[in-house]
């Protein structure tokens, strides 16, 4: 298939420990509130499922679908919403849940878009932060792990729609002189 699974970058145990810590941080920071966890499809779904069970806050969840910007809109950072929220977020404490922040363009766009809907508060929680790839400055409120600039799959992250189901995060390596995006 031109690629193979390489070494495990973050194990299942490391993920589960960190998710538990994030859940405790949310419980502390949102005490007395009922935040809306907003997962960005599709990669963040696995993280959301674990994160929402790592806190006993009365939370709600919703989903938003975005399309990756094409080559032509790379510089403008225009992201298209392909599936919108099922509810209004006016006055709600919204926490955007992402699997990975790369260039930062998707989350920067989402932030701008969601702020026009007047949430009570808006924060970002990302499992992985590929800091070295950042093109747009974005403030992340909760980060699971900072990772090097390698192509990773698993725990929601895919390569050509595969590997989202892996319970750990692994590096994907090209085979036979191939190249990954
Ligand atoms: C990934 C990830 C973020 C975005 C980050 O989604 O879930 O939404 O890319 O990249 P950026 O910081 O460079 O904007 P992807 O487009 O792979 O979709 P998926 O979650 O459905 O796999």
Evaluate if residue 58 carries a pLDDT over 50: yes
Q: What is the mean pLDDT of the chain?
A: 93
Mean pLDDT of 92-105: 97
What per-residue confidence (pLDDT) applies to 73? 47
Structural domain of residue 119, as residue ranges?
Answer: 12-148
Which ligand 1 atom sits closest to the C-alpha of 40?
8
- Rounded Cα distance, 160 and 166, in Å: 14
Residue 98 CA: nearest ligand 1 atom is: 7
- Residue among 34, 84, 99, 102 flagged as catalytic: 102
What confidence tier does 47 reach under pLDDT thresholds 50, 70, 90?
very high
Mean pLDDT of 61-87: 79
Decide if 113 is inside a domain.
yes
Give how many domains the chain has, as a whole number.
1
On whether residue 176 sits in a domain, the answer given is: no
> What's the first-to-final CA gap in the chain, in angstroms?
14
Three-state SS string over 79-141 comes to CEEEECCCCCCCCCEEEEEEEEECCCHHHHHHHHHHHCCCCCEEEEEEEEECHHHCCCCCCCC
pLDDT value of residue 179:
75
Question: At residue 48, does pLDDT exceed 70?
Answer: yes
In the reported structure, the alpha carbon of residue 22 is separated from the centroid of ligand 1 by a whole-number distance in angstroms of: 21
Among this protein's residues, is 129 annotated catalytic? no
In a domain, 111, yes or no: yes
Q: Does residue 89 form part of some domain?
A: yes
Burial letters 12-44, b for 16+ CB under 10 A, else e: eeebeebbeebbeebeebbeeeebbbbbbeebb
- The pLDDT tens digits of the residues spanning 119-172 come to 999 999 999 999 999 999 999 999 999 999 999 999 999 999 999 999 999 999
CATH of the domain at 72: 3.40.50.2020
- Residue 116 placed within a domain: yes
**What's the whole-number mean pLDDT along residues 87-116?**
96
Q: Please indicate, yes or no, if residue 75 is contained in any of the structural domains.
A: yes
Residue nearest to atom 21 of ligand 1 (CA): 42
Kindly give the distance from the C-alpha atom of residue 106 to the centroid of ligand 1, in angstroms, as a whole number.
7
pLDDT of residue 75: 55
Query: Which pTM does this prediction carry?
Result: 0.94
Q: Give percent of the chain with pLDDT exceeding 70.
A: 93
Residue 71 has pLDDT above 60, yes or no: no
* 32 CA → ligand 1 middle, Å: 32
**Is residue 172 domain-resident?**
no
pLDDT bracket for residue 173 (50, 70, 90): very high
Q: Atom 16 (ligand 1): residue with closest C-alpha?
A: 68
Q: Is residue 77 one of the residues assigned to a domain? A: yes
Checking if the pLDDT of 72 tops 70, the result is no
CA of 146 to the centre of ligand 1 (A): 16
Question: Cβ < 6 Å from ligand 1: which residues?
Answer: 40-43, 68, 98-106, 158
């Amino acid at each position: 298939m031109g690629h193979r699974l390489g070494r495990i970058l973050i194990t299942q145990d490391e993920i589960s420990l960190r998710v538990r810590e994030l859940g405790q941080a949310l419980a502390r920071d949102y005490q007395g509130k009922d935040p809306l966890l907003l997962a960005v499809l599709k990669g963040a779904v696995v993280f959301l499922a674990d994160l929402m069970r790592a806190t006993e806050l009365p939370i709600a969840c919703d989903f938003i679908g975005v399309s990756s910007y094409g080559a032509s809109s790379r510089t403008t950072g225009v992201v298209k919403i392909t599936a919108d929220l099922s509810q209004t977020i006016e006055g709600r404490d919204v926490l955007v849940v992402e699997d990975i922040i790369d260039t930062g363009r998707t989350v920067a766009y989402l932030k701008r878009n969601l702020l026009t809907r007047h949430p009570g508060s808006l924060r970002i929680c990302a499992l992985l932060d590929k800091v070295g790839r950042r093109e747009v400055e974005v403030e992340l409120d909760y980060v699971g792990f900072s990772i090097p600039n390698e192509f990773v799959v698993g725990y929601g992250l895919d390569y050509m729609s595969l590997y989202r189901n892996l319970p750990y995060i692994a590096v994907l390596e090209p085979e036979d002189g191939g190249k990954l995006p």
